[in-house]
Amino acid sequence: MKPHRSPKKISLNWIPFICLSFFTLGILFSNRLWVPPESNGQLLSQRRREQELQIVSGDCDTKKTPGQDNDVMGEVLKTHEAIQSLDKSVAMLEMQLAASRNSQEMDNGEASKVVSTLTRDRPPRKKVFMVIGINTAFSSRRRRDSVRETWMPQGEKLIQLEREKGIVIRFMIGHSATSNSILDRAIDSEEAQHKDFFRLEHVEGYHELSAKTKIFFSTAVAKWDAEFYVKVDDDVHVNLGMLGTTLGRHRSKPRVYIGCMKSGPVLSSKNVKYHEPEYWKFGEEGNKYFRHATGQIYAISKELATYISINQPILHKYANEDVSLGAWFIGLEVEHIDDRNMCCGTPPDCEWKAQAGNVCVASFDWSCSGICKSVEKLKTVHERCGEGDDAVWNTSL
C-alpha cells in the first residue's frame, strides 16, 4: 500500500502570477466573438470553464495580502536585471574564449595541432590602445614610402609610439598566389628594412578586399588586445594625435563603429566601378545601401573585432569592402558614430576646419577615394593638413 502523500502547498508568492494567468484567460474567453455552439455539450463545457475561472479568481482575491503584488513584482524586476547583467558577462566571456580558440587555431594552421598548441607556452597578447592596419598592395611601394615620410613614425620612434602610447601601426598585406614569388620576396626585403608590416594569411587581389578585412581584424585580435582596431588606406593622410583623442572619447562604449557614415547607390550595371553583383538583395533598382562607414578609414571597438574573429567563416562578403563591414553590424546592438572630421578634404578644406578649431583626423579626396596622385601630393597634404610632429606625444590616451 502506497503511503499517503499530502498535497504540496503553493507558495503565496506565486498566487498573484496564477491569478494574473487566469485573469488573462478570462479576458480571452470573454472578448472572443460568440459562435453558436454545435451542441449542448459544448455549451455546458464552456459554462463550466467560466464557473471554474470565477471560483479560482475569487479564491485569489481572498488570499492576496495588501502590498504583496508590489513586493513580488519588485523582486521579479531585480531578478530580471541580475539575469541581464549575467547574460552580458557570460556573452563577453564566450566571445573572449572563442577568440582565444580562434587565435590558437590560426597559429597552428591545422585543427589537428590544436592540442600541441594548448600545451605550448604562449606569450600573452600585448595590451594596447589601438591597432592601425594600413591596407596596401604589392604595387604600392611608393605610396608606402610617402606614408613613412609623413605621418607614420619610423624605426625607434615607431617602437616608442607602441611602448609609450599603445599605438600599433602596420602595413597589412597578404601573399601572392604563387608561393615564394618575386612579389613576396620584395615584401620580405622591405620588411627587413623597415619592420612595419603585418603579414596576413590571405591571397592578395582587388576583388578580395572584403576577405582581407575579415582576416585583418581576426589576426589583429589574436595578436594584440586593443581597445580599438582601425583600418586605413595607404593614400590617406592621418593625424595620429587627433585620431587618439577621437577614439578616447568613446572608450567607455562596448560596441562602437566610427567613421564617416554614408549611403551610396547600389549599382547594378556590370560596366561601372563598384558594381554590386548582389544588387537584387537591396530591393528595387535605384535603392541605396544601408548606412556604413566609408572605406578610406574607420575604427571599431574590441567587442566588434572579436565578433568578426569568432564569426569569420559565416560573415557574408559583398563586392565592396566597406559595405561588407556595415552588413556584419547591421543586426547587432552597435552604436554608429558619424564623425565628419574623419573625412576632411585635402587643402584647403582641412585648413578651413583647423581655423574653426577642428583638427581633422584624416584627409582625402572623395573624387578619387584617397589623395589624388598621393605619391606626389602626400607630403604637401601633410605640411598643410598635419597637426605637428609632437601632437601624438602630447595626446593623453
Do 49 and 188 share a domain, yes or no? no
Do 142 and 226 share a domain, yes or no? yes
Note whether residue 305 is domain-resident.
yes
Question: Highest mean pLDDT: which of 66-80, 99-113, 194-208?
Answer: 194-208
Do 56 and 151 share a domain, yes or no? no
Note whether residue 10 is domain-resident.
no
Do 250 and 170 share a domain, yes or no? yes
Mean pLDDT of the region 103-115 = 42
CB atoms within 10 A of CB 374: 24
Give the pLDDT of residue 120. 46
Do 51 and 175 share a domain, yes or no? no
Angle made by CA atoms 137, 188, 216, in degrees to the nearest 5: 50
Do 318 and 239 share a domain, yes or no? yes
Q: What is the mean pLDDT of the chain?
A: 81
Residues of the domain holding 359: 127-261+292-385
pTM > 0.85: no
Do 181 and 50 share a domain, yes or no? no
Helices (H) and strands (E) in the chain, counts: 13, 9
Note whether residue 377 is domain-resident.
yes
Note whether residue 162 is domain-resident.
yes
* CATH assignment at residue 140: 3.90.550
pLDDT tier, 87 (very low <50, low <70, confident <90, very high otherwise): low
Place of cell 591596407: 135
Note whether residue 394 is domain-resident.
no
- Listed range (184-188, 189-193, 204-208) with the worst mean pLDDT: 204-208
pLDDT cut 70: percent of the chain above it:
70
Single-letter code of the amino acid located at 44: L
Do 180 and 55 share a domain, yes or no? no
Grid coordinates representing 182? 618575386
Note whether residue 191 is domain-resident.
yes
Measured CA to CA, the distance from residue 337 to residue 245 in angstroms comes to: 14
Do 227 and 304 share a domain, yes or no? yes
Do 52 and 163 share a domain, yes or no? no
Do 187 and 56 share a domain, yes or no? no
> Over the stretch 260-300, which tens digit does the pLDDT of each residue have?
999 989 989 888 888 899 999 998 888 899 999 999 999 99
Mean pLDDT of the region 60-72 = 55
Name the 3-class secondary structure at 258.
strand
**Is residue 225 within 8 Å of residue 128, measured between CB atoms?**
yes
Give the pLDDT of residue 118. 33
Measured CA to CA, the distance from residue 181 to residue 193 in angstroms comes to: 19
Note whether residue 371 is domain-resident.
yes
In the sheet with 167-175, reading across from the earlier edge strand, the strands are 197-203, 167-175, 126-135, 224-233, 292-301, 256-262, 335-338
Give the pLDDT of residue 65. 54
29 pLDDT above the threshold of 70? no
Give the pLDDT of residue 286. 81
pLDDT tier, 386 (very low <50, low <70, confident <90, very high otherwise): very high
Alpha helices in the chain (DSSP H): 15-31, 40-63, 68-108, 114-119, 141-148, 156-165, 182-194, 209-223, 240-248, 302-311, 321-329, 349-355, 374-385
Single-letter code of the amino acid located at 191: E
Note whether residue 68 is domain-resident.
no
> Over the stretch 354-379, which tens digit does the pLDDT of each residue have?
988 889 999 999 999 999 999 999 99
Measured CA to CA, the distance from residue 205 to residue 370 in angstroms comes to: 19
Do 57 and 147 share a domain, yes or no? no
Measured CA to CA, the distance from residue 3 to residue 27 in angstroms comes to: 41
Number of domains composing the chain: 2
Measured CA to CA, the distance from residue 338 to residue 242 in angstroms comes to: 16
Query: Residue 127: beta bridge partners?
Result: 225
**β-strand pairing of 256-262 with 292-301:** antiparallel
Query: Residue 133: beta bridge partners?
Result: 170, 231
pLDDT tier, 19 (very low <50, low <70, confident <90, very high otherwise): very low
